[in-house]
Structure 1
């Protein structure tokens, strides 16, 4: 027998164990559990039990489902419950796994959002500081009005007092 090679797939082995797809089985159990939680299921089950009880109570003994009227009904309901409970638990486990993954993704997205908000906050603070150093329209307007007042107040009308003139 040749040693196993990692660069080649293994040969399929036939076993007596039945093969099933766990994902498909999980989806089936979720659909079943979802159906068990509906009003439709409760109506179907109520109608089934009512028909069973009425048929076994009112029908002649030769046409009844069971010579002991409600033992077989009890067996059917017990079997249904014994299969329903594990399937519901399987569906809940799968939902818990999905919730855990979703929670982890939400946590990571929250961390990213928090980092982005902190970055934007720092940027906004930097812009506010930079804007504080810029001249605003009102500041420029008041400075121009102040210069106009100086121009009108100067003796030569050029805005500079003669003692400070550079032309001299």
Structure 2
């Protein structure tokens, strides 16, 4: 068999996958989280939810309502129970400032970790897209090879047909 008669399977047959790029970044991040990171994520999840906002709004409204009612009742009955936080609700402001002082940094920690996860996922996507581009180039080269091979086959068939027609 000469070189022309040997089968040439083309670029796709010679292509070998060099590395496996697909990985579950989400699972990797969650497997390596510390207790503090899990707490920060949970706090961010709870504080950033509608149930939390609704519950907090109800608590604030009740706090203000009860204290306003107690101040009102104290005006008419000096022996009535004293309001624990009369208007302008200084204790409520202190509680809300305390909550904001602690939840703000915790939420930022969670957001920073989410941003890092997003960067890793973007890098993963880039590597996969780059690998896909290489594989598409191999497929396109293989299609060109197949076209050339088909053209050679067609030329051979035409040559055989002409030879058969002459006989």
Q: TM-score, length-normalised on structure 2?
A: 0.66
Q: Distance in 2 between matches of 1:57 and 1:97?
A: 47
Q: Distance in 2 between matches of 1:116 and 1:132?
A: 24
Q: Check whether the contact 1:32–1:87 (CA below 8 A) recurs between aligned residues.
A: yes
- Number of residues of Structure 1 aligned to a counterpart in Structure 2: 126
Q: What's the counterpart of residue 48 of structure 1? A: 59
Residue 109 of structure 2 is aligned to residue 90 of structure 1: yes
**Structure 2 counterparts to residues 146-157 of structure 1, below 5 A:** 147=165
Higher helix share: 2
Residue 106 of structure 2 is aligned to residue 81 of structure 1: no
Question: Tell me, what secondary structure is at the counterpart of 1:131?
Answer: helix
Question: Tell me, what secondary structure is at the counterpart of 1:134?
Answer: helix
Q: Distance in 1 between matches of 2:86 and 2:53?
A: 27
Which structure would you say has the larger Rg?
1
How much is the aligned-residue C-alpha RMSD, in angstroms? 2.6
- State the Cα deviation string for residues 57-104 of structure 1 (Å, max 9, x = none): 002452522356601100000001111110111011000111111111
Q: Check whether the contact 1:33–1:91 (CA below 8 A) recurs between aligned residues.
A: yes
- State the Cα deviation string for residues 102-156 of structure 1 (Å, max 9, x = none): 11111111111111111111111111111111138x9589x38x72xx6xxxxxx
Higher relative contact order (CA 8 A, sep 6+): 2
**After the TM superposition, which parts of structure 1 deviate over 6 Å for at least 4 consecutive aligned residues?**
none
List gaps (5 residues or longer) in structure 1: 1-20, 151-158, 160-168
List gaps (5 residues or longer) in structure 2: 1-31, 75-80
